[in-house]
Amino acid sequence: MSLPTKRAALISPGDVIGYDGEWRTVKEASTAQGPMGGLAVVVTWEEGGTARFPAGDELLLGKPDSV
């Protein structure tokens, strides 16, 4: 069984992502320049806080009722 994933550059509001040991819902996603000059995605969570991912990272997706 494979778990569904999505590249960080393709996430959108409403996606449920496994992050830091729990499921979190994407409130907003924007792009920024990463520390090495590459593309990064900055995610604001519905549950509060933010996270930054390299655009090519594979993120684990959950179902909206996972949260």
pLDDT tier, 18 (very low <50, low <70, confident <90, very high otherwise): very high
Does residue 40 carry a pLDDT above 60?
yes
Residue 17: other Cβ atoms inside 10 A: 24
Question: Does position 43 have pLDDT exceeding 60, yes or no?
Answer: yes
| Whether the Cβ atoms of residue 47 and residue 25 lie closer than 8 Å to each other | yes
| Burial 22-32, CB ≥16 within 10 A → b, else e | ebbbbeebeee
